[in-house]
Amino acid sequence: MSARTVPDDERRARLAARHAIHPAHRAADPVEAARSVVVLHSTEPATVHLSVHARVDGVTREQVVAALETERSLVKQLAMRRTLFVFPRDLLPAAWGSASARTAGSERARLRKDLLAAGVATDPEEWLLAAEAEVLDALAAAPEGLTMTELRAAVPTIDVRADLGPSQLNPGRFLTELGARARVVRGANTSHWRVFRPRWRTTSSWLGEVPAPLSSAQGYAELVRRWLARFGPGTETDLVWWLGATKGAVRAALAEVGAVEVSLESGAPAYLLPDDVEPVDPVEPWAALLPVLDPTVMGWKERAFHLGEHGPALFDRNGNAGTTAWWDGRVVGCWVQDDDATVAVRLLEDVPAAGREALRREAARLTAWLAGERVGTVYPSPAMRCDPGDLTYPVLRA
């Protein structure tokens, strides 16, 4: 029996509902919003809040902060592709044993090499072990945690800086490696919601009882299971990229979860979970405005089914997505804020009248939520940077 073909329209209907960005399928709270896309990107702190806002009606910034800092049901963790994500708390053991462990291993190897090259230590591993002990002791003595500035003062050992050409040796790298290994965690933010300056905590002081990491194979299998439930059907290439893992690890995880092969409209082989192979119902047309690095935009390596030919206009040279405007399952442009902080949608293709009106409503919704606050980014796309007068289609304003 040949594999079922999943048309692009169905893929777009799946993401609309499962990613909680369709108005009829929104999430109930920040944790459910994170689960809808497995994890939230947190490279830029504002992305977390804006991704949740896009998926939860009526959510407040205080509710997002509560999930991160009071309930601690969402936790920041360095994992796939050396990227900082916000994880639902129950998914942490899977990441710790797989993607985070892989990142930690490469980080530690780089640190050993750079410590030696900078002349800081003749035995880099011994130096790292001693520095780790000092950091953990300092954090244990500070129940509310320490900022980076406070930690550098408390542990001068890690206040090491060197310019090594392609890399920089600095205190943040030691915390990055400890965080990837789940020895420390980013705690309460001491700054504005758009700027993340955390107090570092030991993982046990922040989470209480710390569960054991899963094995590497178990961890990758759980991550693949959740990714397929939200992003499937997806290709092996998609999963290798998203996980930052090897083909061997991905193939073993696909076998472990019993993934079923299907065909995409392009003819490429892809995978679904065994209980998710039946066609899904179409959804009503919808609009959404997603922030820089939103998981829905970044979730696949092969994005043509929703991105079309707009990649060069909406991604920077390093593959980072800027803001995106969506109509009926496809990216049709981006959004920016005017000088008065009003959200304006910049179209890259023709959109029907119903779509333009729906995008205006989303722009008004986002403008009201931002309440005059402007959100900057270090990842502006070419479409975000261009002169609006150079655009082919009229700008839509809230």
The percent helix, strand, coil of the chain (3-state, each to 5) is: 45, 15, 35
Among 207, 226, 258, the domain-final residue is 207
Co-location of 104 and 197 in the same domain: yes
Q: Is 124 part of a structural domain of the chain?
A: yes
Tell me if 230 sits within 8 A of 79, measured CB to CB: no
pLDDT at 1 over 80: no
Beta-carbon contacts of 199 under 8 Å, excluding residues fewer than 6 positions away, are 144, 145, 146, 147, 187, 188, 190
pLDDT digits (tens, 9 = 90+) for 188-230: 999 999 999 999 999 999 999 999 999 999 999 999 999 999 9
Domains held by the chain: number: 2
Instruction: Say yes or no to pLDDT of 2 above 70.
Output: no
In a domain, 279, yes or no: no
Q: Is 64 within the bounds of a domain?
A: no
The confidence score (pLDDT) of residue 3 equals 82
Confidence label for 51 from pLDDT (cuts 50, 70 and 90): very high
Q: What is the pLDDT of residue 398?
A: 84
Q: Does residue 25 form part of some domain? A: no
3-state secondary structure of 206: helix
Q: With contact defined as beta carbons under 8 Å apart, do 30 and 70 qualify? A: no
C-alpha–C-alpha distance, residues 324 and 342, integer Å: 16
Query: Is residue 87 a part of any domain in this protein?
Result: no
Domain that holds residue 309: 287-397
Residue 4 within any structural domain of the chain: no
For residue 378, the model assigns a pLDDT of 94
Provide mean pLDDT across the span 237-254: 98
- What is the SS3 assignment for 256? helix
- Model confidence, pTM: 0.96
- Phi then psi for residue 47, to 5 deg, are -60, -40
Q: What angle do CA 194, 196, 165 make, to 5 degrees?
A: 115
SS3 84: strand
* CATH code of the domain in which 106 resides: 1.10.10
pLDDT on residue 130? 96
CA dist., res. 242 & res. 232, Å (int): 13
Last residue of a domain, one of 159, 192, 207: 207
CA separation for the pair 71, 138 (Å, rounded):
25
- pLDDT, one tens digit per residue, over 54-93 is 999 999 999 999 999 999 999 999 999 999 999 999 999 9
Question: What tens digit of pLDDT does each residue of 112-144 get?
Answer: 999 999 999 999 999 999 999 999 999 999 999
Same domain for 203 and 294? no
268-320 pLDDT per residue, tens: 999 999 999 999 999 999 999 999 999 999 999 999 999 999 999 999 999 99
Residue where one domain finishes, among candidates 174, 190, 207: 207
pLDDT confidence of residue 389: 87
Residue 2 forms part of a structural domain = no
Give the model's pLDDT for residue 276.
97
- pLDDT higher than 50, residue 23: yes
The verdict on residue 226 lying in a domain is no
Q: Rounded to an integer, what distance in angstroms lies between the CA atom of residue 302 and that of residue 241?
A: 10
Euclidean distance between CA atoms 75 and 91, whole angstroms? 10
